[in-house]
Amino acid sequence: MSTTKIVEGVFAINKPKSISSAQVLRDVQRAFNQSKLFAPWLDNEKAKRTEESRHQRSRRKDKHIKVKLGHGGTLDPLATGVLIVGVGKGTKHLQAFLGCTKTYEATILFGAATDTYDVLGKVLGKAPYAHLTRDKVETALNRFRGSIMQRPPLYSALRMDGKRLYEYAREGKEIPREIQERPVTTESMTLREWLPAGCHSYTWPAEEADEEDKTVAEKVLHLGATSEDRTDEHPRTDDPLDNNFTPGSKRRREIDDEDDADIGITPATKRRDISPLPVMSGAKQERLEIQSEDFVPATAAPADKETSSGELSPQNGPPAARLSMTVTSGFYVRSLCHDLGEEVGSLGIMSELVRTRQADFELGRNVLEYDDLCKAEDVWAPMVAQALNDWDSKRVEKSNNGSSDSPAPV
């Protein structure tokens, strides 16, 4: 298709599992750069650059002209779902999406804790789970509804003394002081499905942490805390079936964060300091490097049968639960899974995460599929053009009505 109209604005794409948000933007940018739909945008940008002074041109690190992209809240490689993308002048509106509520569906697997609070980390400890029931978890969820205080994970991009928390973790250094809890709000939370042992294929990570950072895990990750629900009836032991808690080690993690980073980004730069960002942190818009990343996805493998070494079988493996929640900016789903595990007298890690809705964008309604970008331009271009036009029409309508640029909360 050919057009002389400069198309730009905001649309949403369904991010697949096992790739970072940054990689999604690179793939989108590659498709847009080669398309007829965005040729007028590129021509216009080229014309503007020819009018720049020599000093302005010399300051540009990237001399190549690419379609300008950004996103309004990053998702971790483990996560899937709504990734809001700004194109051209649309990137200036991404900040408005950082403070809006989001809806997630998450799966928590009980009985283990990791340094990253999810299945991508190293196992720090194990805890009893035979006592867990749907009713017990339902009751525990009450503590996490409404306005609560939540401690962000160590593997997040919040700064402490000018340094991101994940950098301390990767270097194996103790943070200068305790990570403080922050106020967040859960507008709704539902236990959608209870998955007893043997009725799911989720498993703990295979890699166990060493003993090097037990002290760090105890002090920083608060894995040694005792829940009001934990009693001597379910002590932690060293047996994997009895599930001992053993705090442990550092882990290099791809933090493009799933539940953690609400940040507007501009992909044409190469600054490493933002690729991992805290989900829904409410942080201001920053720039994101765009360069290749190696990522080995974690998959939910079927549980093994019990062996002589004491490995778990489906019959005695841990239960899991699927949760649905609508939360405000700053909420960490990984922290919820970790804290919920403690609350029910066990441990917990996040095994899956889907962002089903953000602002006016919702899966199955007005979110484009990532796989469509792999098809011919005449397949995806009309959908992208229509999505950008729809967003711009709503923006103009809100402006004419005197409404703010902020997206409607969910």
Positions marked active-site: 76
At a CB cut-off of 8 Å and minimum separation 6, what does 363 contact?
Answer: 14, 81, 82, 354, 356, 357
**Cα dihedral: 311, 235, 203, 201 (round 10):** 100
Cα angle value 49/54/56 (rounded, 5°)? 60
Give the closest residue to 327 by CA, choosing from 163, 131, 207, 189. 189
Residues near 210 by Cβ (< 8 Å), separated by ≥ 6?
Answer: 248, 249
Tokens 């005197």 belong to residue: 402
Residue with tokens 């971790």: 76
* In 317-377, beta strands by DSSP E: 320-327, 348-358, 361-362, 368-369
Largest Cα span, the chain: 75
Instruction: Name the phi and psi angles at 95, rounded to 5.
Output: -55, -30
List the one residue out of 383, 401, 380, 402 whose CA is nearest residue 391. 383
Please provide the DSSP assignment of 11-66 as one string: EEEEEPTTS-HHHHHHHHHHHHHT-STTHHHHHHHHHHHHTS-HHHHHH-S--S--
